[in-house]
Amino acid sequence: MSWSGPTDGGSGRRGYHHGNLREALIEAALELIGAKGPAGFTIAEAARLAGVSPAAPYRHFRDAEALLAEVAVRGFDRFAERLTKAWNGGRPEVVRAFEDLGRAYLAFAREEPAYYAAMFESRIAQEAHPGLQAAGDRAFAVLREAADQVAAMLPKGRRPPSLMMALHLWSMAHGIASLFVREGPSRRKLPMAAEDLLEAGLLIYLQSLGLAGGE
């Protein structure tokens, strides 16, 4: 894929030349999502930004939702890679790696806002896009693996369900990301770093289980 500079008399429209149309449309959608939000663009706008005819996108995507779903799938795949790297198989220490997962969640929300919006703010019916459901499950599987290992550190009679633990981590990290990390008029101000808030919440949570210095 190659992009030219501005065309059409400096209007800012990009020229698309003999490349991968599918990739060009995805890049255009990402830019539009970043500027307008996941519900704020049409497939015609994506075509215009990619420098192709309004009919061209339909060779690859039936509508704007299908294009948005593909962006979300890619976002979840990138997200899973980030989480996997942060978790690092529970090394060098399981509880610390569990905390690193939460920080990676916030970092993704901050550094990949367009992907994050497509993944979590697009209101796409996942049953209509099986690939999207599968991609989300792959990312969540990293949290589930981490929760399994944390739970295994506890005596059998005191182990909460690891699925519940994974959901707790997800809810805590996602709530902090949505309220205090994501840019926008609804972002709440904090007297501390979002990472510090998450670390404190996880510490209390783990201490309640008898971990992280909870003795």
pLDDT reported for residue 211: 87
Q: What is the 3-state secondary structure (H, E, C) of the chain?
A: CCEEEEECCCCCEEEECCCCHHHHHHHHHHHHHHHHCCCCCCHHHHHHHHCCCCCHHHHCCCCHHHHHHHHHHHHHHHHHHHHHHHHHHHCCCHHHHHHHHHHHHHHHHHHCHHHHHHHHCCCCCHHHCHHHHHHHHHHHHHHHHHHHHHHCCCCHHHCCCHHHHHHHHHHHHHHHHHHHHCCCCCCCCCCCCHHHHHHHHHHHHHHHCCCCCCC
pLDDT reported for residue 16: 47
pLDDT reported for residue 213: 54
pLDDT reported for residue 190: 85
Superfamily of domain 65-208: Tetracycline Repressor, domain 2 (1.10.357.10)
**Do residues 52 and 24 make contact, with C-beta atoms less than 8 angstroms apart?**
yes
Q: Domain 3-59, CATH 1.10.10 — does that match?
A: yes
pLDDT reported for residue 187: 72
One digit per residue, pLDDT tens: the chain, 215 residues?
222 333 333 334 444 444 689 999 999 999 999 998 888 888 999 999 999 988 888 888 989 899 999 999 999 999 999 999 999 999 999 999 999 999 999 999 999 999 999 999 988 887 888 899 999 999 999 999 999 999 999 998 888 999 999 999 999 999 999 999 987 666 778 889 999 999 999 999 999 988 865 44
- d(Cα 124, Cα 143) in Å, to the nearest integer? 22
Chain centroid to CA 156: how far? 33
Domain span(s) for CATH 1.10.10 in the chain: 3-59
Domain span(s) for CATH 1.10.357.10 in the chain: 65-208
